[in-house]
């Protein structure tokens, strides 16, 4: 492909046409993915998920597989998504941001509010207008070897300095500290 021949104006014009074509192709791809998932064709082809189908059969990278699948699922709920993608009013990034705030009652209003906006503009709009959705608290739970072994009916372990008789559990879990070994009483 030789891009040195076209004039600057022709090159800009071509890019604009290509972007329009890309939007239309994205909308068609999303619609097709929706129907493939609806008919469960990915399962019949031997793939355990749409993500696996997109990454293996379509050879999408992991990063580029998620958003079209998400858009396909939103398109099944709100068919207007396909035409909004084709026109460029919405893009896959915007749909990803909106996904948790769309309902049957508000999707049209929300699509109008974000039409043609950049990702940052949509993020600012969402932050200003919508509360953050409830999320479960994520408190890391540290499970000690003592708790695990006790819950499996084993006797409480004791720490013996310098012992070479570390239990298999301690070696496999990495819980035996340097210079200390966990052994059963």
Write out pLDDT tens, residues 49-66.
999 999 999 999 998 999
The DSSP output letter for 2 is -
- 137 part of a folded domain: no
Domain count, the chain: 2
Range of the domain at 170: 145-184
Same domain for 161 and 93? no
- 56 part of a folded domain: yes
| Spatial separation of the C-alpha atoms in residues 156 and 160, rounded to whole Å | 13
Q: Which residues contact 115 (CB under 8 A, 6 or more apart)?
A: 84, 89, 90
Same domain for 154 and 91? no
Query: pLDDT of 108-153, one tens digit each?
Result: 999 999 999 999 999 999 999 876 666 666 665 555 555 555 555 5
Same domain for 62 and 117? yes
Same domain for 77 and 109? yes
Residue 124 is predicted with a pLDDT of 95
Taking each helix axis as running N to C, give the angle between helix 80-87 and helix 107-114, from 0 to 180 degrees, rounded to the nearest 10: 10
| Spatial separation of the C-alpha atoms in residues 138 and 141, rounded to whole Å | 9
Same domain for 150 and 120? no
């Amino acid at each position: 492909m030789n891009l040195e021949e076209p004039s600057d104006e022709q090159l800009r014009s071509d890019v604009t046409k290509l972007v329009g074509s890309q939007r239309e192709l994205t909308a068609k791809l999303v619609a097709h993915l929706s129907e493939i998932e609806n008919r469960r064709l990915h399962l019949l082809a031997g793939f355990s998920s749409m993500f696996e189908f997109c990454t293996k059969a379509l050879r999408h990278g992991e990063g580029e597989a998620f958003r079209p699948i998400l858009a396909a699922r939103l398109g099944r709920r709100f068919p207007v998504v396909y035409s909004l993608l084709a026109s460029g009013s919405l893009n896959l990034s915007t749909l990803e941001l909106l996904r948790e705030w769309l309902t049957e009652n508000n999707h049209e209003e929300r699509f109008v509010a974000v039409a043609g906006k950049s990702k940052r503009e949509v993020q600012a709009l969402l932050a200003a207008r919508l509360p953050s959705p409830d999320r479960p608290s994520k408190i890391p739970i540290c499970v000690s070897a003592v708790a695990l072994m006790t819950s499996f009916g084993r006797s409480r372990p004791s720490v013996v300095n310098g012992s070479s008789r570390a239990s298999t559990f301690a070696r496999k879990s990495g819980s035996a500290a340097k210079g200390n070994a966990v052994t059963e009483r």
